[in-house]
Amino acid sequence: MIINGVLVDHTFAEAFSMKATRVVITAHTEQWAFNAAKSMTGFATSVIGCGCEADIERYLKPSETPDGRPGVSAMLFTMGAKSLVKQLETRAGQSVLTSPTSALFSGIDGGIRIPLGKNLRYFGDGFQTSKVINDNRYWRIPVMDGEFLVEETTGQVNAIGGGNLLILAESEVDALEACEKAVLEMRKVPNVILPFPGGVVRSGSKVGSKYPALTASTNDAFCPTLKGITKSELSPEIESVMEIVIDGLTETDIKKAMKVGMETFCSIGAYNGVKRISAGNYGGKLGPYHFHLQEIMND
């Protein structure tokens, strides 16, 4: 499939089952809600080294938040339920509880309820109090700037992680600028996050390594500097490859984000250096979810 000169590979992105949750962080200003959310979702690009994958989902208007203040919604993804609970609690405690004027709420009504403020409340050293509002319990923890309000639980749901797009471009700048545009559009899709810095990853990996201690290593087939010395996937004109990784709550959400991303790449076109769109997979043997690029574009 070729659109505007951009070749869309006949391949698929292979993705995995994950557990996810969403929280809503509010504060006195949008900037302070962002500060808390940025810290909470920091160092969370990949479950391999960070314990979870997390990112800000979107900004929320005061009319969209429980306490009528500006806010941000953020999502966390992990491979298992236990690690999600641990990561959420640690990050909420160190990054949101500590952030001036912040309040923290559940962002998912259904699902299995997991602790949000349930254990954080003990920071109050006995001075914490709770309020049940609309059948939800909120903890009021006295802190130095006033009071930290946190909902007792949030929802844990099944989710999908590892949807991805590879963009193959004529230069590093072409790849980067195309990714920036695509990320901007993809982040408008609800229920998905792009956990890597700026939404883009340049160090895509393959499973395994020549070094026994490592479970993953550089994806040499897509490294342009190795074109002549390894079994490369790259044609001679490709000088740079970048990847956008997508975690989402459902297959539909990830497909939507991938389609938006691919449409953006195609609209930039081969004339501007975007030559090809591909995706990372493991031959379909590891992940239960296969996102076929051409099928998504035809939907």
Partner 1 sequence: MTDLTLTMKYRPDQRVDMSPITCDKLAGLDLAEIAAIELQNGKRKLRVDELFSISGSDVGKIHINNSFSKLDYIGCGLDGGSILVTGDVGAYLAMDMRAGEITVSGNVGIYAACQMKNGFLQVLGDVSDFLGSALPGNKKGIQGGTVLIKGNAGDRVGDHMRRGMILIEGGTGDYCGARMTAGTIAVMGETGRNIGYGMRRGTLLLWQQPKIPVTFGDCGTHTFSFLPMLFKTMAKFDSKFSDSSQHFNRVHRYGGDIAGIGRGEILVRVGSA
Q: Interface with partner 1 by CB under 8 A: which residues?
A: 26, 66-69, 103, 126-127, 129-134, 138, 140, 146-147, 149
- Of 150 and 244, nearer to partner 1 (C-beta) is 150
The token duo for 47 is 């479950």
Can you list the positions of beta strands (E) in the chain?
2-3, 6-8, 12-26, 53-60, 71-78, 103-106, 112-115, 129-133, 136-143, 146-151, 153-169, 192-193, 205-207, 216-218, 240-248, 274-278, 289-292
CA distance 91 to 112: 19
Burial 105-137 (b: 16+ CB within 10 A, else e): bbbbeebeebebbbebbebbeeebeeeeeeeee
Write down the least CB distance from residue 129 to partner 1, Å. 6
Write down the least CB distance from residue 69 to partner 1, Å. 7
CA distance 245 to 165: 7
Write down the least CB distance from residue 36 to partner 1, Å. 14
The DSSP secondary-structure symbol of 63 reads G
- Of 31 and 134, nearer to partner 1 (C-beta) is 134
Q: How many beta carbons lie within 10 A of that of residue 285, not counting itself? A: 8
- Of 69 and 187, nearer to partner 1 (C-beta) is 69
CA distance 279 to 167: 8
- Of 151 and 253, nearer to partner 1 (C-beta) is 151
Are 246 and 192 in contact by the 8 Å Cβ rule? The answer is: yes
Write down the least CB distance from residue 128 to partner 1, Å. 9
The token duo for 73 is 């919604």
The token duo for 248 is 């989402």
- Of 12 and 138, nearer to partner 1 (C-beta) is 138
- Of 36 and 200, nearer to partner 1 (C-beta) is 36
Write down the least CB distance from residue 130 to partner 1, Å. 8
The token duo for 242 is 């970048």
- Of 46 and 106, nearer to partner 1 (C-beta) is 106
Write down the least CB distance from residue 65 to partner 1, Å. 10
Q: Would the CA dihedral through 285, 54, 191, 159 be positive or negative?
A: positive
Write down the least CB distance from residue 33 to partner 1, Å. 12
Write down the least CB distance from residue 58 to partner 1, Å. 21
The rounded Cα 114 to chain-centroid distance in angstroms is 20
CA distance 38 to 33: 9
- Of 62 and 208, nearer to partner 1 (C-beta) is 62
